[in-house]
Chains A and B, each alone.
Chain A
Amino acid sequence: MSQDIRTILKKAFPAAIVEQEAETEDYLEVRPGEWFEIATFLHDTPELKFDSLQCITGVDWGPEAHLEVRYNLHSMEHKHKLEIRIVLDRTAPEVPSVEKIWRVADWFEREVYDMYGIVFTGHRNLRRILLPDDWVGWPLRKDYETPETYHGIVVPKIKEEWE
């Protein structure tokens, strides 16, 4: 990421950008509060014009630590890219949805919700996407336990002697 994008964003949203130790790192950490405004800014400003959202990744840093969402943005016009990271609280993970800006985020966010239980506020249709609606738990969290049965079908547990 070029230094300019960082400077532009810092000028526009001084409070929302988290200071990083190494300025050279190629990502930007923002606070969840103003994320929707930042995203709109990134999408609409002509010299940034991040028109394509590549990927949304959820990360769980362990049962004692926090959750995190990472966005990979790309601009088809300027051919530059940017990674945004948002750190979230584990007990009540909430982040504004950007589904209205990049329509592809609709499904990406649903997937992250499905796997991590991160709530995207403002999403118009936040349901499970891959797992069945009546599934319990957030499978990609590090402390997830596989259920014993699902609708009467046995899900065998890991048996070490099968190795």
Chain B
Amino acid sequence: MGVLEHKFQDNIVVASVDKLLSWARSTSPWYFQFGLACCAIEMMATAASRHDLERIGMMPRSSPRQADVMIVSGTVTLKMGLRVKRLYEQMADPKYVIAMGSCATSGGPYWKYGYHVLKGVDLVVPVDVYIPGCPPRPEALLDGLLKLQEKIRHERPLTRKTGT
């Protein structure tokens, strides 16, 4: 929300518009279809028949420029880490990152001997929601996404109060 940021004072109109904006944004965060490893299969399973991500307003986009949320689903290696960073930079503001699975959170099972594994995607991009599990069940991913939606709903983009 770069253009509108700090241009307004807190009054009754702005506050309502603010609320409306964040509500609208929270119900349709489009995610970046970007699979890395085993967790990506669970992400696909979540998006497919049984769990159906679209019912909470999340739609896969293939291009980073159209996406709001990047779900880092899987092990990030050093070779890939630089690309993940670039993809993140290509996304338009406001943008959110979800670290799905223990690999994206901390390196997971590859923590100790993985000479080529990035120990947590938060070393290269800021992360909003961490989802534990190896792999997290679709329910866990859904829960994480709902948490993210809650976070977006509490944001006040015009007056820049960050959410919970």
Q: Which A positions have Cβ atoms within 8 angstroms of B?
A: 130-132, 139, 144, 146-147, 150-151, 153-156, 158, 162
What's the minimum C-beta distance from A110 to chain B, rounded to whole angstroms?
A: 15
> Are A132 and B78 in touch, CB under 8 angstroms?
yes
Distance, CA A36 to CA B67, complexed state (A): 53
Q: Does B136 sit within 8 A of A, measured CB to CB?
A: no
Interface size class of chain B, counting residues whose CB lies under 8 Å from the partner chain: 10 to 19
What's the minimum C-beta distance from A131 to chain B, rounded to whole angstroms?
A: 6
Q: Which of B78, B111, B113 contacts A153 (CB 8 A)?
A: B78
> Are B82 and A151 in touch, CB under 8 angstroms?
yes
A selection of 20 A-B contacts at a CB cut-off of 8 Å is A131-B116, A132-B78, A132-B79, A139-B115, A144-B115, A147-B115, A150-B78, A151-B78, A151-B82, A153-B82, A153-B118, A153-B123, A153-B124, A154-B119, A154-B123, A155-B78, A155-B118, A156-B119, A162-B111, A162-B112
Contact residues of A: prevailing secondary structure:
loop
Q: Does B60 sit within 8 A of A, measured CB to CB?
A: no
**Contacts between chains A and B (CB distance < 8 A), count:** 30
Known: A130-B116, A156-B119. 17 other contacts (CB 8 A): A131-B116, A132-B79, A139-B115, A144-B115, A146-B115, A153-B78, A153-B81, A153-B82, A153-B123, A153-B124, A154-B119, A155-B78, A155-B115, A155-B119, A158-B113, A162-B111, A162-B112
